[in-house]
């Protein structure tokens, strides 16, 4: 099965779409100053069956495509000049790999991915030098699946805050249960790691979105014990970055999710009001608004 297309936007309304087309992986960019979309740019021609995809843009409309192929994660920058730089191998990829990426305005990039191997979820972090030029990725988490509960579908997450700080989140294990790790990232690398855990159950990362006040909202689900209520309680936590660490408040219940996949959240720039949407246990789409 072909992977879903990946999409990214930039400050001025630039749009990048990375998708498999016939026997190639192509990147198409619509720039606000460039008129109608141009011809697709080929990012990967040697493997007609790419895996997970992601694409990131900066304010110049430079783009970075990242994907899995042949058991590895690859990244390829595409400057606004329109000519690809060479592809770079970042590290290993197993089954069910999920990738997040971010391209900064100083021509640096971050790629994170979570991959399944031997009953465990491994999360990798790779922060480039300028170029962007990547070195060896660092494994930041090895998390054996607790009690057979699969790794959260929302791991990892990587966002740029309105303060220009970067925040990342991923799945970890704490006390034999799934938990959520989060950390700010700056030019020195990943800073202090914080953990958000749930008492007596798993905390499963769903989504992370930046707000207009240097803040972010995280969605998470908590599987409920049999007979204790809905199968998965959906919660939201609001957080920020300060003194080199992330700070999240107590999660607020939103409703019942059908699974930990498919939940999404966004924040309104003018009011900092959050809107969450998810597929409920009844299969219908549910939504909730929350004030700051």
Q: Does 84 share its domain with 202?
A: no
- 111, 144, 177 - which closes a domain: 144
pLDDT of residue 45: 46
Looking at the fold, whether 18 and 123 belong to one and the same domain comes out as yes
Strand partners, 76: 65
| Residue 48 belongs to some domain of the structure | yes
Indicate the pLDDT class of residue 41, thresholds 50, 70 and 90: low
In a domain, 111, yes or no: yes
Q: What are phi and psi of 84, to 5 degrees?
A: -65, 145
Where in the sequence is the domain holding 201, given as residue range(s)? 162-292
Q: Does residue 136 share a domain with residue 191?
A: no
- 136: which 2 tokens? 């060896």
pTM listed for this prediction: 0.91
Residue 154 in domain: no
Tokens describing residue 68: 């899995």
Are residues 21 and 120 both part of a single domain?
yes
If pLDDT is split at 50, 70 and 90, which confidence band does 230 have?
Answer: low
pLDDT band at 3 (very low <50, low <70, confident <90, very high): low
Position 145 scores a pLDDT of: 85
What's the CA gap between 78 and 84, in Å, rounded?
Answer: 5
Q: In 10 A of CB 40, how many CB atoms?
A: 16
Least confident of 6-15, 167-176, 276-285: 6-15
In this structure, the answer to whether residues 47 and 104 fall within a common structural domain is: yes
């Amino acid at each position: 099965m072909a992977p879903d297309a990946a999409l990214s936007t930039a400050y001025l309304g630039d749009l990048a779409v990375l998708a498999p087309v016939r026997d190639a992986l192509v990147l198409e960019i619509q720039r606000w100053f460039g008129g109608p979309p141009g011809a697709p740019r080929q990012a990967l021609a040697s493997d007609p069956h790419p895996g997970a995809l992601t694409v990131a843009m900066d304010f110049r409309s430079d783009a970075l495509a990242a994907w899995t192929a042949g058991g590895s994660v690859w990244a390829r920058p595409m400057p606004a000049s329109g000519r690809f730089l060479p592809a770079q191998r970042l590290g290993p990829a197993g089954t069910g790999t999920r990738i997040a990426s971010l391209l900064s305005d100083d021509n640096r990039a971050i790629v994170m991915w979570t991959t399944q191997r031997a009953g465990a979820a491994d999360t990798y972090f790779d922060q480039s030098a300028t170029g962007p030029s990547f070195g060896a990725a660092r494994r930041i988490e090895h998390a054996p699946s607790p009690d057979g509960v699969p790794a959260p579908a929302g791991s990892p997450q990587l966002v740029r805050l309105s303060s220009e700080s970067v925040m990342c989140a991923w799945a970890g294990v704490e006390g034999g249960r799934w938990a959520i790790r989060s950390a700010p990232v700056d030019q020195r690398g990943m800073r202090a790691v914080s953990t958000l855990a749930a008492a007596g159950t798993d905390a499963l990362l769903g989504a992370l979105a930046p707000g207009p006040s240097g803040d972010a909202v995280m969605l998470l689900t908590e599987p409920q014990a049999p007979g204790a209520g809905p199968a998965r309680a959906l919660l939201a936590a609001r957080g920020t970055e300060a003194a080199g660490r992330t700070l999240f408040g107590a999660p607020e219940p939103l409703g019942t999710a059908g699974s930990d996949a498919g939940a999404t959240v966004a924040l309104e720039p003018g009011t900092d009001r959050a809107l969450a949407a998810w597929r409920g246990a009844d299969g219908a789409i549910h939504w909730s608004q929350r004030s700051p």
